[in-house]
Structure 1
Amino acid sequence: MYQPNGEAQQKSAPQGAAAPYPNGNNHQNLNGNNNGINTTIEPWSTGLCDCFKDPTNCLFTWCCPCVSFGQIAEVVDKGNPSCVVAGLTWYALGIFGCSCLYSCTYRTKLRAMYSLQEDPCADFLVHCCCMSCALCQEYRELKIRGVDPSIGWQANGDRWNRAAATTPPTANPGMTR
């Protein structure tokens, strides 16, 4: 699980909040040449059909997928659009049967943010065939990585700032005999 340390900063994070990105350990390097770019791929923390690992989220997503999607979209896009705008957009597109076109783009953004595998198939197909399972998996992934989609981007940033402010600095050992 991600532990904010105050080192990794993100431009759009609220008030200099530490970004919830993976720490780089235990990743498979694709080409052996990073050049400062993260080229590692890692698996999702939970499977697509592991919805009942978080039964509350599963039930909530099944009953109100537009709200669950809005929470995910707000965090993935760092507060813009808001949960309400993203959820209403998803709902409006759903009237025409096109919500999967919108929601699959956020799965792609989430995968890029954490260098996750495109698994079990293309993001569009996952959202087209298993929308509720995909939303549950994305929500769980964010929670496992230390982001709580239910409180929004700003509140997560405030939480990371508090954690960074209360974490004492570590001193490197000096010269030893």
Structure 2
Amino acid sequence: MSAEDFETGTAVLSAGRVKGVRLVGLAGIIGGILLIIVAILAWIMVTTELRAESITVPDDAMAFQGQQVSGPLTAYVQAEIIREHALAASGGKTFAQLSQDDPVRATMANASFLRASLFTSVVSYGVALFAAAAGLLFLLFGWALRALVPPLPRTAS
């Protein structure tokens, strides 16, 4: 079968089903727009909070040296350099490997807390991006449903 041989079929829908499909399409469009708006707001909020901390990526980091932590990549790089600095302070031992009376253990606990906080922001950015992408898909699917099923003609009353 070639492209020229392809035929389109016609589906017959009752008035109730037409309204139902168009309503689902509208819900998809509205839901998609809301998801995109919430994703943008979450991204802005996390960025604002990170910037408020005034964290600068140190010169010995793998990237973004001297830049302010204000996004997912800089937050990830900052978390990684904190790990390197903490391991250097502990002689290469992790928090769990240090004895309970080791004074460096508090430094390792603080480093672990800071890294977890930075990774939380990285995950938040990922969730916001996922929500925006899902919102875009909802919007497109809703638009497609409404385009495929035109509204019923208005009848004179």
- Give the TM-score normalised by the residue count of structure 2: 0.26
Q: Considering Cα pairs closer than 8 Å and 6+ residues apart, tell me whether 1 or 2 has the greater RCO.
A: 2
- Give the TM-score normalised by the residue count of structure 1: 0.23
Specify which structure has the higher proportion of helix.
2
Larger Rg: 2
